[in-house]
Amino acid sequence: MTRQSSTQARRAALLGTNPRFRLYLDARKRKRHELTLEQLPDGTHDEQDAADAIRQACGIRSRRELDTNHEARQMLDRIVSDYQAWERRQARGR
């Protein structure tokens, strides 16, 4: 494995440790299941939940697969893009 190829697995791992990304997962689940903040409070998702969510969305068993699976890497890019859009909306107060 080259240094460049390990970048995607590391990127996914770091994403899961980001508390703001886990808040995004909370908000996303609330919206998807039409839950209130009281029903699913902020801080519900932990690092393991984030790792599981990334693996499930990307259709992989291990984040290492992101280094060799083009489709999974594209999904990670979409996850990051959606998260960044959510952050921008939060900054605007929406």
pLDDT digits (tens, 9 = 90+) for 31-77: 999 999 999 999 999 999 999 999 999 999 999 999 999 999 999 99
Q: Has residue 4 got a pLDDT over 60?
A: no
Interior angle at CA 91, CA 86 and CA 94, nearest 5: 65
Computed over every residue of the chain, the mean pLDDT equals: 93
User: From CA 84, how far away is CA 94, in angstroms rounded?
Assistant: 14
The sign of the torsion formed by the CA atoms of 32, 33, 36, 39 equals: negative
Q: Band the pLDDT of 93: cuts 50, 70, 90.
A: confident
User: From CA 68, how far away is CA 28, in angstroms rounded?
Assistant: 28
